[in-house]
Amino acid sequence: SKMEKKLYGPTELEDLLRELKIEYLMHEHEPVRTLDDMKQKITLKHAPLIKNIFTKDKKKNGCFLISAHHATQVGKAFYKKIGTTYGNCRMADEKTLDETLGVKPGQVTPFALINDHNHNVRRFVLDANLMKEEWLSFHPMIHTKTVEIKRTDFFKFLDKLEITPEILDLSEEEEEVKTQE
Tens digit of pLDDT for each residue in 58-88? 888 789 999 999 999 999 999 999 999 999 9
173 vs 42 pLDDT, higher one: 42
For the chain, percent of residues with pLDDT exceeding 90: 81
User: Per-residue pLDDT tens for 36-59?
Assistant: 999 999 999 999 999 999 999 988
pTM: 0.92
Q: Is the pLDDT of residue 21 over 90?
A: yes
CA distance 107 to 118: 20
CA 126 to chain centre: 7
Query: Do the Cβ atoms of 25 and 147 come closer than 8 Å?
Result: yes
pLDDT at 60: 81
**Cross-strand pairs, 147:** 26, 138
